Chain A
Amino acid sequence: QVQLVETGGGLVRPGNSLKLSCVTSGFTFSNYRMHWLRQPPGKRLEWIAVITVKSDNYGANYAESVKGRFTISRDDSKSSVYLQMNRLREEDTATYYCSRDGYDKNYAMDYWGQGTSVTVSS
């Protein structure tokens, strides 16, 4: 079955960096765009980044709130997607999710990981 497992969250000081990982299984990872999203406590979901597949040159797109600070990447050989987060701010505090892009479902996000919590605080 399809599984996505995020790791790498934790407590970090403002201005510091953190790298999240999302290891997947149960599907042909290289065929799918992958997303990162986040959800601050008690708030709505916010999409933050997407990475395309090899045939689209692994293109990436970002939300304005993280552009220039966060970098999404992938390693198809490890069926994994990553989120490098630099210059973290208190407002980046959230649960971070990776999700699969359902290209055959009008790009709905059809599978999600359980999430990893990131707290940015001094």
Chain B
Amino acid sequence: QKEVEQNSGPLSVPEGAIASLNCTYSDRGSQSFFWYRQYSGKSPELIMSIYSNGDKEDGRFTAQLNKASQYVSLLIRDSQPSDSATYLCAVNMPPSSASKIIFGSGTRLSIRP
């Protein structure tokens, strides 16, 4: 089992709709969860971080965390063509005394006009 799993896509969403991206992780002891966006040929850019169960909203983005189900998701409202990119789910693996952020393989998102 991979430590962090995502559907590779591509996920095609019409402009203005909600894009929903999902991620599961293997280690129950994980405490920190992140979503990154990566455009082709560029380095990953942090979008959201979430540390506790529930929802966290930032503009058009909402991150959701369910530790019991070991599940993290990212919702993008009012999707724009500029949102077309690969979205990487990342989890900081235990022990919490050190940084070891493991990334999923990424979901390619395409926003169609």
Q: Is the pairing of A and B real? A: no
Residues of A within 8 A of B (CB): none
